[in-house]
């Protein structure tokens, strides 16, 4: 049954059909016009019937103090302690909101005591070790709503500092647990509590100046001492070697020792600085930004390691004349270096508290777009990897690829160059080359010797048998012929008796087999000539009728050219 829209379209359909018939339009143009009319008529109704888009979901509320993750909660707590704002620091404790000045003073005092304990005998996990997920770490041994962030030592009793996540309300926030506060309060009653930082003391960044000097001096001593030790080791090792420049292990040792010593220094600084009775603000700040030094040391050492391995592999491949593998090694080395540098940038941005998740997702989308745009380049790169893995040809091989026959001069990352017999160079993309049939003549272990010896028709049967025997003896008597060679009368053609030879010349070099082939053919011809056996040559017998004047009639005459 037609609807109202279809009925409205009926006059337009008749008009279009009449117009197409008058101007002799092809039917396909008429079909296109009718399709456009149908869409134009039905589109408003379809849009009216389309369901409305759902209302956007309400935004999740955020916490003004940044307590959504354990990492951000610890960073906010350290910031409050650095400003000596104990009222704000108390909001990172899982305690009821104070309703009076007395309760406010109690929680502020508790925060001041907690600050003093952290400075004297407490430690918090480094910034990078804290979870930056709202749910915290789920692979630890604690409950899902608990997170271990450090410990406090009182009278040789280590009390873990645990954060809990609120079960109600939005947003869910992380705070120091009630159990931790109770254990610290109970232990503090039995031990003298160290004094809180004096407000009149010279503070830099929320920590006493002497504490900064202590930590920086420790860092200079550790890194400077390890640097001097590395210099002494390099100089001493160089003196023990007669030719240090020619020693690959020594070059790698000299290149890798500085970043390795820096990496060792970072771990030593982490362990020693965490044990010093200095301000928790100074410790956490320096340990947080020491993560940048850690990323630099890891990437620096990894770059030197990649260079050492790549140089060793390149030297071996050049020794075996595998230049195409050298190209792939160089490409892989550059790609690995790029990934290492990207890792260092991400680690540094993460240390500064910058969320890199969105950036990584954008890079992933950009990488997909780049891969789609450079599809042929990626195809050639994959083809290069396929050629390296399968090794159907090498530089110097004589090959046939499609209609191209020549010697392989270079196998690069994008293409392969083949020098033809006419001394021209044909460049074949590796993507196409890996999909083609490649015939490699250089991989032959021996050469086929398959001539056809044509014996003249005028040869008697005894001489024909003698000719076959001569060819068999020559093949069997040559030391360069493989076993199993044969010579047999294979065919009687319209011009000759054909002796077919099937044997292999048991050499690999093309030039050598050319000489052996020549000797075999000359020996066969010489012995056949000595035996009085003629070789056949192309002949043709023409028979035609000729008028014989003596007999008065036509007689056939045979003429051999």
What the block records as the tokens of 329 is 């090694």
Residue 556 makes CB contacts below 8 A (sequence gap 6+) with: 543, 544, 545, 546
Q: How confident is the model at residue 140 (pLDDT cuts 50, 70, 90)?
A: confident
Burial class (CB in 10 A: 0-12, 13-18, 19+), 139: exposed
Segment 237-279, tens digit of pLDDT: 888 888 877 777 788 888 888 888 888 888 888 888 878 888 8
With contact defined as beta carbons under 8 Å apart, do 261 and 229 qualify?
yes
Q: Is 530 exposed, middle or buried (0-12, 13-18, 19+ CB in 10 A)?
A: exposed
In angstroms, the CA 32 to CA 48 distance is: 25
Comparing C-alpha atoms, which of 540, 541, 522, 538 is closest to residue 530? 522
Q: Which residue has the tokens 């929680």?
A: 107
So what's the pLDDT on residue 424? 94
Contacts of 61 (CB under 8 A, 6+ apart): 170, 171
User: Whole-angstrom Cα distance, residue 459 to residue 536?
Assistant: 10
pLDDT in the model for residue 468: 93
pLDDT tens, position by position, 324-346? 677 677 778 878 888 888 888 88
pTM: 0.56
pLDDT in tens, 347-357: 787 777 676 66
* Whole-number pLDDT of residue 521: 94
User: What's the chain's average pLDDT?
Assistant: 79
Helix (H, G, I), strand (E, B) or coil at 200: coil
Residue 38 confidence class, pLDDT cut points 50, 70, 90: low
- HSE (side-chain half, CA atoms, 13 Å) at 414: 5
3-state secondary structure of 49: helix
3-class secondary-structure state, position 122: strand
Query: pLDDT at position 207, please?
Result: 84
Instruction: Provide CB contacts within 8 A for 223, sequence distance 6+.
Output: 262, 265, 269
Q: Are 128 and 71 in contact (CB under 8 A)?
A: no
What would the pLDDT profile of 284-298 be if each residue is shown by its tens digit? 888 888 888 888 888
CB 498 within 8 A of CB 492: yes
Q: How many residues does the chain have?
A: 561
pLDDT of residue 526: 94
């Amino acid at each position: 049954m037609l609807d109202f829209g279809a009925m409205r379209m009926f006059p337009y359909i008749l008009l279009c059909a009449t117009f197409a018939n008058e101007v002799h339009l092809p039917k396909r143009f008429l079909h296109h016009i009718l399709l456009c009319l149908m869409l134009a008529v039905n589109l408003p109704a379809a849009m009216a019937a389309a369901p409305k888009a759902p209302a956007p979901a309400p935004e999740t509320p955020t916490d003004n103090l940044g307590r959504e993750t354990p990492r951000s909660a610890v960073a906010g707590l350290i910031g409050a302690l650095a400003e000596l704002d104990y009222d704000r620091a108390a909001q990172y404790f899982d305690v009821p909101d104070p309703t009076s000045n007395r309760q406010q003073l109690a929680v502020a005092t508790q925060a001041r005591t907690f600050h003093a304990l952290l400075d004297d005998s407490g430690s918090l996990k480094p910034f990078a070790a804290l979870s930056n997920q709202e749910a915290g770490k789920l692979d630890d041994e604690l409950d899902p709503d608990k997170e271990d962030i450090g410990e406090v030592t009182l009278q040789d009793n280590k009390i873990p500092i645990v954060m809990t996540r609120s079960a109600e309300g939005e947003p869910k926030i992380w705070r120091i647990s009630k159990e931790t506060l109770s254990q610290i309060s109970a232990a503090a009653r039995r031990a003298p509590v160290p004094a809180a930082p004096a407000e009149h003391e010279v503070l830099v960044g929320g920590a006493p100046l002497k504490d900064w000097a202590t930590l920086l001096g420790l860092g200079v001593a550790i890194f400077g001492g390890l640097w001097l030790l590395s210099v002494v080791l390099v100089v001493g090792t160089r003196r023990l070697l007669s030719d240090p420049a020619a020693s690959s292990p020594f070059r790698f040792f000299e290149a890798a020792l500085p970043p390795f010593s820096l990496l060792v220094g970072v771990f030593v600084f982490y362990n020693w600085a965490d044990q010093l009775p200095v301000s928790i603000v100074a410790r956490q700040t320096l340990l947080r930004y020491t993560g940048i030094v850690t990323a630099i040391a890891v990437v620096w050492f990894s770059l030197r390691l990649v260079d050492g391995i790549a140089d060793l592999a390149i030297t071996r491949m050049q020794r075996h004349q595998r230049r195409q593998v050298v190209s792939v090694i160089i490409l892989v080395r550059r790609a690995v270096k790029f990934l290492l540098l990207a890792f260092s940038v991400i680690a540094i941005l993460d240390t500064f508290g910058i969320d890199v998740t969105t950036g990584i997702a954008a890079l992933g989308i950009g990488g997909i777009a780049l891969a789609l745009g450079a599809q042929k380049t990626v195809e050639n790169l994959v083809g290069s990897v396929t050629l390296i893995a399968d090794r159907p040809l090498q530089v110097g091989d004589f090959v046939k690829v499609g209609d191209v026959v020549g010697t392989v001069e270079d196998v690069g990352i994008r293409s392969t160059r083949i020098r033809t017999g006419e001394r021209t160079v044909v460049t074949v993309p590796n993507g196409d080359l890996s999909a083609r049939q490649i015939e490699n003549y250089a991989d032959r272990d021996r050469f086929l010797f398959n001539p056809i010896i044509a014996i003249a028709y005028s040869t008697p049967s005894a001489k024909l048998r003698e000719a076959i025997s001569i060819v068999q003896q020559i093949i069997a008597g040559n030391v360069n012929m493989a076993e199993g060679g044969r010579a047999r009368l294979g065919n009687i053609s319209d011009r000759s008796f054909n002796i077919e030879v099937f044997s292999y010349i048991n050499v690999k070099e093309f030039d050598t087999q050319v000489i052996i082939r020549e000797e075999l053919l000359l020996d066969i011809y010489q012995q056949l000539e000595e035996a009085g056996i003629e070789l056949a040559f192309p002949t043709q017998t023409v028979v035609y009728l000729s008028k014989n004047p003596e007999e008065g009639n036509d007689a056939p005459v045979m003429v051999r050219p």
